[in-house]
Structure 1
Amino acid sequence: MASMNSTIIAPLAGTADVRPIHPLWMRITHWLNALAVVILTMSGWRIYDASPFFPFTIPPAITLGGWLGGALQWHFAAMWLLVFNGLLYLALNIFSGRLRRKFLPLSFKGVVHDLIEALQGRLSHANPRQYNHVQKLAYLFVVLDLIVIVLSGLVLWKSVQFPLLRQLMGGYEFARRIHFVGMAAMLAFVAVHLVMVALVPRTLLTMISGRAPKTL
C-alpha cells in the first residue's frame, strides 16, 4: 500500500512532473502580499514625512495618501490585507508541507557556497521547483521581517494596549525606527528580487501561470 501511495503522489521515474510549480493559492497570496507591501510602503512614507526622525524626508510624488489622514487610511486598509493574507499564506505553507519542502534544510555552508556561485554567475536555475540556499534564506528572512513589521506596527497603532510589546521594542519612538528599518529591509529584498527576476525572467512567468514556460 505504501508503494502504491508513493506512486500516486510522486511522478513516475522518467516522466515529466506536470504539477504546477506554484499552486494557485500560493500565487494569489503572493500577489496580494506584494500589493499590500506597496501600499504600506508608499503610505508609510507619507506618515513618516509628517514627523520625520531622520535628517531626510521622502519626495511627496512617491508617497500615497496626499496628507496624513489620507495616508493613515491607506495604511490601515493595507495593514489588514497584509495581516490576514499573510497569516493565510503562512498557514497554507506550513500545513501543506510546502514550507518544509521548499525552505529546509538550510545550512550556513550551503548559503556561503551558493552566494559565491551566484556572485560568479555560476549558480544554476535549471530546476525552478528547487530553491537554492540563498533563496531559502532570503524568503525566510522576509517572513521574519514581516512579523517584526507587524509587531512594531501594533506598538505604533495601539501603544497603550500593548505595553509589554512596547517595552520589548524599546519604547514608542524606538519602535518607529524598528518599523521604518523593517520596511527598508523589505524594500532591499524587493530590489534584489526584481534584479533576479530580470536575470531569470521565467521565474515571473511561473509566478503568474504556475508553470515554467517551454521557451523564453
Structure 2
Amino acid sequence: MSDRLQPSRPAHAVPIRVMHWIGVYAMGCMIFSGWEIYNASPDLPFLFPRWAGLGGWLGGALAWHLTAMWVLCVDGLAYLVYGFVSGHFGEDLRPPAVGAFARDLHAALRFRLTHRLGHYNAVQRGLYVGVLAAVVVQVATGFATWKPVQLGWLAAAFGGYPLARHIHLALMLAIVAFAILHVTLVAIHPRTLKAMIVAAPREREEQP
C-alpha cells in the first residue's frame, strides 16, 4: 500500500525507536569503557584521552564493558527478530544495488542527496547494513578476546587472540567513524532526530 493511502504511518515504529536508543547507550558505554581497557594495555603507539574513558581504572572499565555487552546482545537479538518478522529489513534495509549506491553517493558528495523521513536511500542502506555486520563481528571478536581459552575455536576463527584483538579495535574505530558521520548528518537534517524520538509522520517517497 502506498504512502498516499497511509498518511499517518510513522517514520519509525515504536520498537525501532526504543531499540535504537538502547543500542546507542550500550554501544556508547562499550566504546568509552573499551578506550579505558585499551589504555591499560596499548598495543599501538597512541592512547585515548583519559577524560574519554569510562570506569576510572581497568577493573571498573571491564565491569562497564561486560555489562553493556549483554545489554547490546539482548537489544541486538531483539532487533534482528523484529527486523525479520516485521519486514523492516526487507522493506527498509535491503542491500542496495552497486549502481544505486554509486549514484546516491555521488549526489551526497555534492550535497544534493535529498532525505525523506521513513525512507532510506542507497547510501544509508549500505552504511546501515555495513555497521550492523560490523557490530556482529565486533561482538564475536569481543567474546574471542574475553574468553580465548574457553572459546578457543572462536579465537582461532579470527586468526588467534592477538589478531582478534586488533580486529576488535579496528572495528571499534570504524563504528566510531560511522557514529561521527551519522551525528553530522543528523545535524544537517535535525528533523531526523525528532523522528527517532516521537512518532513523526512518514514522508511521501515522491513529492507532488
Q: TM-score, normalised by structure 2?
A: 0.93
Aligned counterparts, 1:144-163, within 5 A: 144-163=133-152
Select between 205-214 and 164-173 the one with higher mean Cα deviation. Answer: 205-214
Residues 49/122 of structure 1: CA separation in 2 closer, same or farther (3 Å cut): same
Q: Structure 2 CA distance, aligned partners of 1:91 and 1:43?
A: 28
What is residue 194 of structure 2 aligned with on the other side?
A: 205
Counterpart selection for 2:111 from 104, 109, 121: 121
What is residue 206 of structure 2 aligned with on the other side?
A: none
What is residue 186 of structure 1 aligned with on the other side?
A: 175
1:88 aligns with 2:78: yes
Counterpart selection for 1:17 from 3, 7, 23: 7
Q: What CA deviation, in whole Å up to 9, does each residue of 1:102-156 have, x standing for no partner?
A: 022510100000000011111111x312111000001001110001110000111
Alignment RMSD, CA only?
A: 1.6
Q: Is the 8 A contact 2:8 2:202 kept in 1?
A: no
1:196 aligns with 2:188: no
Q: Deviating runs (4+, > 6 A) in structure 1?
A: none
Q: What CA deviation, in whole Å up to 9, does each residue of 1:7-49 have, x standing for no partner?
A: xxx36x8555201111111100000000011100110000001
What is residue 75 of structure 1 aligned with on the other side?
A: 65
What is residue 134 of structure 1 aligned with on the other side?
A: 123
Q: Structure 1 CA distance, aligned partners of 2:113 and 2:126?
A: 15
Q: Is the 8 A contact 2:33 2:61 kept in 1?
A: yes
Q: Is the 8 A contact 1:65 1:72 kept in 2?
A: yes
The residue type paired with residue 142 of structure 2 is: G
* Greater C-alpha radius of gyration: 1
User: Alignment partner of 1:209: what SS?
Assistant: coil
The residue type paired with residue 35 of structure 1 is: Y
Q: How many aligned positions are there?
A: 203
Gaps of 5+ in 2: 204-208
User: Alignment partner of 1:146: what SS?
Assistant: helix
Gaps of 5+ in 1: 1-9
Residues 47/210 of structure 1: CA separation in 2 closer, same or farther (3 Å cut): same
Q: Structure 2 CA distance, aligned partners of 1:123 and 1:94?
A: 28
| Larger RCO, structure (CA 8 Å, separation 6 or more) | 2
Percent identity of paired positions between Structure 1 and Structure 2: 40
